[in-house]
Structure 1
């Protein structure tokens, strides 16, 4: 194990440094810092990315009792899209064409810092931020960013590191009733209940059925083909081999142990699939794929991604369904709440960020989501209007 230490924090309570690969860390020590909602920063998920895409450096902070904070590092994307900084920071002036260090898992759409709870948490986050900035400066980056953070987590991290919070996306989630879909439908308007019943009936009328299994039972080449068809349909750039490599990496890391696959079939032909991951009491939707050469108006997307998972989650004692960042209108129409996500940025040159512009941008996004999704926003949107940027 190669460990490159930075200087300890001023109180000498913590020691931080850089590891060249996640496999040098202890899985249980790492996951002890990871919440149920933060599955994409769990040890096996990140190890799956290492197997598929190669190892990345890891920042770690240790105290007298062991690991207190950590995160993996990467460089973002170099082409427009969800992980391209100029797109994430559109509307906020700054040096976004320069290179920035990215914190969190590669292509994660939910990021929180794995970190201890309690009174030393702020100090641990601050030390991780100091270590990240020193790492960035040594390698010529303009600073560091951590995207797709729940808003409260972003404010906390920015306060600890002296960074700026910039809203840039939102994610959908459902609280799972004990009675699954039936319990969810009880809270809906009659129109929405009838629409759901109609879609499920159409799915069955087309001769489609759902079978649940585990990802290890799927043929990676078939799953990758279906997932790639869906991604290509909506502008995704990764090809089938890339997706197949990701799935193969998950087998090697063992993260597929947490997986659950909902498969739509007609006779013995797979027409679509959705892959979920269980972590704690939360079920995370990650992949949807479909055979679009079959012109089936059978609502397989909604059945696999919303209706069936509610029953699966309830039957397995899970209390939350996380639905990621896409197709928010469809998710809201089926009972989801929309949660704000923000990026935390820390520049080496503090004068390069206009704090007032960031605040105005956040308030603009708040108004846009209030106008588009009235009555469907989570409670933490209220915090956006009341918060200043932490460095103000």
Structure 2
């Protein structure tokens, strides 16, 4: 029986169990509840292209028509400089989290047929919205391979970091001798500082955490405000509280540091971190909240992977992470091929020259484009 393809506004009419069966524990930023947190944006229209076979959901693709983009990481200039040139594009596969994709089930050839049907429906939607085509930002290699095989153009964007460890001892054993000693020193200093350290659901701390995150963003040149961060965190506290863990640090009863992460499948996803810089005790708070407390939490809860996202890749690699490429993928409505910007080619080559396969897994970097 053939595929039934439909397009809905948002997740309307799609059950969470059916959707997350496709995400299958490996695509938090395509999970049902994560996507719910994005639907309230007044500056973007959300669509879901759905494929069903015999009434069963076998494929799904979120698509966003963005009128105003508030994040520089998703600004149109980013993907236009990489690959897509001018024109207006619909953002496919995810709009936050620096990770995008497409949900498919089954083996070949059914998966390929579903992929083609979703792509065709997505391009029809782009044409109806007077857009030039679809663009995936921050697509992992698996997704880029699928789309490239169907004629999409691909350009290197950046790297994301992921740390794999079955416990604290294994994590330490995987570090070099000098880094291992430094890690143990940083952990002792933090433990001796006398902080009140806790693990909390997001609902218990999000207003105060928003202020700390805004502090960090402002320190590094972003124009984020506390109120803006509260608008981001409020829907996450509503929809994702059961999946959340906030590592919180208090001094004299006041929250001075916090790191928000989410559990999904066998992975802990690091989302944001923030500090009250004036009240810190110079006890390696960043590294403890970003790496050491999460690794110890993973050991206790049976998780194996710590997804660390983009930026600060060198520091993450030094602390045991492997670096995976993320790609800009564009699919024009007219079927044309797009040229990759020279700076993307140079940046990709620079990563390959800097690290070997211990840090850059070959299956992600050895690609046909």
Q: Secondary structure at the match of 2:273?
A: strand
Q: Is 1:368 aligned to 2:350, yes or no?
A: yes
**Pairing 1:271-286 to 2, within 5 Å after superposition:** 271-286=256-271
Partners of 1:241 and 1:23 lie apart in 2 by 29
Q: Cα gap change, 1:265/1:80 in structure 2, threshold over 3 Å: closer, same or farther?
A: closer
Q: Cα gap change, 1:52/1:81 in structure 2, threshold over 3 Å: closer, same or farther?
A: closer
Partners of 1:28 and 1:22 lie apart in 2 by 12
Partners of 1:37 and 1:167 lie apart in 2 by 22
Q: Secondary structure at the match of 1:24?
A: coil
TM superposition shift of 1:248: 1.7
- Which residue is equivalent to 1:335? 320
Q: Cα gap change, 1:340/1:35 in structure 2, threshold over 3 Å: closer, same or farther?
A: farther
Alpha-carbon contact 1:166-1:361 (below 8 Å) kept: no
Q: Is 1:348 aligned to 2:325, yes or no?
A: no
Partners of 2:275 and 2:268 lie apart in 1 by 21
Residue number among 116, 121, 129 corresponding to 2:119 in the alignment: 129
1:145-199 Cα shifts (integer Å, max 9, x gaps): 0111111221112323x2111110110001122xx22221112222101111221
Partners of 1:176 and 1:331 lie apart in 2 by 14
Q: Is 1:380 aligned to 2:363, yes or no?
A: yes
Alpha-carbon contact 1:30-1:43 (below 8 Å) kept: yes
Residue number among 291, 294, 299 corresponding to 2:276 in the alignment: 291
- Which residue is equivalent to 1:107? 96
Alpha-carbon contact 2:46-2:65 (below 8 Å) kept: no
Q: Cα gap change, 1:234/1:304 in structure 2, threshold over 3 Å: closer, same or farther?
A: same
TM superposition shift of 1:15: 2.2
Q: Cα gap change, 1:171/1:123 in structure 2, threshold over 3 Å: closer, same or farther?
A: same
**Pairing 1:139-288 to 2, within 5 Å after superposition:** 139-160=129-150, 162-177=151-166, 180-218=167-205, 220-253=206-239, 255-288=240-273
Alpha-carbon contact 1:17-1:61 (below 8 Å) kept: yes
Q: Secondary structure at the match of 1:36?
A: coil
Alpha-carbon contact 1:82-1:88 (below 8 Å) kept: no
Alpha-carbon contact 2:94-2:101 (below 8 Å) kept: no
TM superposition shift of 1:89: 4.5
TM superposition shift of 1:48: 1.9
- Which residue is equivalent to 1:17? 6
Residue number among 66, 73, 97 corresponding to 1:82 in the alignment: 73
Q: TM-score, normalised by structure 2?
A: 0.91
Q: Cα gap change, 1:106/1:382 in structure 2, threshold over 3 Å: closer, same or farther?
A: closer
Q: Secondary structure at the match of 1:380?
A: helix
1:32-68 Cα shifts (integer Å, max 9, x gaps): 1003231011001111222465762221122224211
TM superposition shift of 1:381: 4.0
Partners of 1:129 and 1:328 lie apart in 2 by 32
- Which residue is equivalent to 2:18? 29
Where does structure 1 lack aligned partners over 5 or more consecutive residues? 1-11
Partners of 2:154 and 2:244 lie apart in 1 by 33
- Off by >6 Å, runs of 4+ in structure 1: none
Residue number among 48, 52, 69 corresponding to 2:59 in the alignment: 69
Q: TM-score, normalised by structure 1?
A: 0.86
Alpha-carbon contact 2:45-2:65 (below 8 Å) kept: no
Partners of 1:304 and 1:80 lie apart in 2 by 25
TM superposition shift of 1:282: 1.0
Alpha-carbon contact 2:202-2:260 (below 8 Å) kept: yes
TM superposition shift of 1:84: 1.8
Alpha-carbon contact 2:45-2:64 (below 8 Å) kept: no
Partners of 1:91 and 1:146 lie apart in 2 by 12
TM superposition shift of 1:325: 0.5
Which segment is superposed worse, 337-346 or 208-217? 208-217
